Each structure stands twice: as C-alpha cells, then as structure tokens.
Amino acid sequence: MTLAYRATGAFSERFDPRVKLLFQAVFAFAALAHTTPRGLALLSLLVGAVLVSANTSPFWVLGEFRYVFPFLLGGPLFASLTLGSPWFVPADAIPPALASYRVLLVLCVSAAYIRTTPVRESRAAIQWLVPGRPGQFLGMGVAFVFRFLPVLQADLRAIRDAIAARLGTERSLAERMQLVGAAGVARAFSRADTFSLALRARCFAWNPTLPPLAISRCDVPVIFLVCVLAAWSFV
C-alpha cells in the first residue's frame, strides 16, 4: 500500500476535511509548544487515538516515512558528539531527540489525514480557505501531489525490486543509489509527460465542480478537541 486515500469505512472519514486540516494545524502548534517528555507523552496518546479512528497501523506509518529516519536520528547523534573528550555526551542528544519525536508525531497525524480524506475534498477545503485564483492554484497543486506522489513511490519500489532481482544488492551502496536515482528521475519525467497529456485529454479546468462541504454533528467532538488543544498550547 502507498500513502494515499483508501476508503475503509474508518470513523475519521466522516469528518469534514476543513475540521481535519484545522486539527492538524493546532496539533502541530501544540507539539511545538509542549516539548517536554510529559507533553509529548500526552500527544502520543492523542496520536494513537487518531490512528485508531483512521483505521491506520502505526507500523505502516513508520514504514511509509522510513526515509526520514536518517535525518530524525542523525540530529540527536550529531548533537551529542564533541570535538574533544569525552567525544560523546548523551545528555546533549535529549533536546534534538525530543524534537525529532515531535516531527514523527506530526507526520503520523498527516498520514491519518491523507488515508481518510479524498483528494477532491482536500482541494475543496483549500479553495474554501483561500478564495479566488490563488486558492484554485494551491488546491490544484495539492491535488496533483496527492495523486502523483503514490505513483512515484510505487515506481521506486518497482525499480528497487528489479535491481534486487538482478543481484543489484551485491553492488556498493553508492552504485545502488545512483541506479535508483537515475531510473527514478527518468521514470518521474516520463510520468509527468503522461500526466500532462492526460490532463489535456480530459479538458482540465481550473474551477471544476467540487464536492459540497458541510459541518455535521460528527465534527463537534473534533472541534471541541481543537479548542482544548489550542488552549493547552498557551498554558
């Protein structure tokens, strides 16, 4: 599976996309405001509830974002190194480690949103938030990314599998990176050309008819939770 919308009947699919976007923004602000282990522990419990409501496994989310782990782990490791004795100070790694964990929590919430929100609803929510041509351009860009990124991910997996089937794993890491990178870029340009042709063939419009958005009673608990998070962020 790729990081894209899948209709699974999850409870989060009932929420209005504008409410879910607002929740993401307030959650990120709360994560920036509360950087202590206690605050991040409370936010972790909330992320667990979000993933359950989205019918999304945390292990699947970690697998999808495994490419950012070197950066999340490299920051604390680099911060703990010193130029002299004792060469390694574990206490210096604690603040950047908490910051990396905070980023991981935000990524989990974002993954839950993508998994439970159709692309057209995301575009409608963005164009409602930003009116006029700027909103249309922004909504179009977000829709393109949501549709195009899973295709590129699948292409990269296919390229890696093809290299492994040809004993590419026996090559050095630099050679494998070069092969995957070159083939991935070539496939991305090919996909972009095909995507452009498909848009023209379907008479792409700047202002298509988007699905109507409406706040329902299911959104009330989420709105209340957003208010609680916002108030907690200022405490």
Q: Kindly report, residue by residue over 13-37, the tens digit of the pLDDT.
A: 889 999 998 999 999 999 888 888 8
113 and 24 share one domain: yes
| Per-residue pLDDT at 175 | 80
Q: Kindly report, residue by residue over 120-170, the tens digit of the pLDDT.
A: 888 888 888 887 777 777 777 777 777 777 777 777 778 888 888 887 777
Is 220's pLDDT higher than 70?
yes
48 and 77 share one domain: yes
| Residues facing residue 82 across a β-bridge | none
36 and 70 share one domain: yes
57 and 166 share one domain: no
Percent residues over pLDDT 90 in the chain? 10
Overall number of domains in the chain? 2
Q: Kindly report, residue by residue over 102-122, the tens digit of the pLDDT.
A: 989 998 998 898 888 888 888
79 and 183 share one domain: no
77 and 145 share one domain: no
Q: Kindly report, residue by residue over 33-73, the tens digit of the pLDDT.
A: 888 888 889 999 999 999 999 988 888 888 888 778 888 88
Q: What is the pTM of this model?
A: 0.75
112 and 201 share one domain: no
Cβ-count burial of 17 within 10 angstroms (0-12 exposed, 13-18 middle, 19+ buried)?
buried
38 and 142 share one domain: no
52 and 158 share one domain: no
If pLDDT is split at 50, 70 and 90, which confidence band does 203 have? low
User: 83 lies in which domain range?
Assistant: 1-118+214-235
17 and 101 share one domain: yes
31 and 64 share one domain: yes
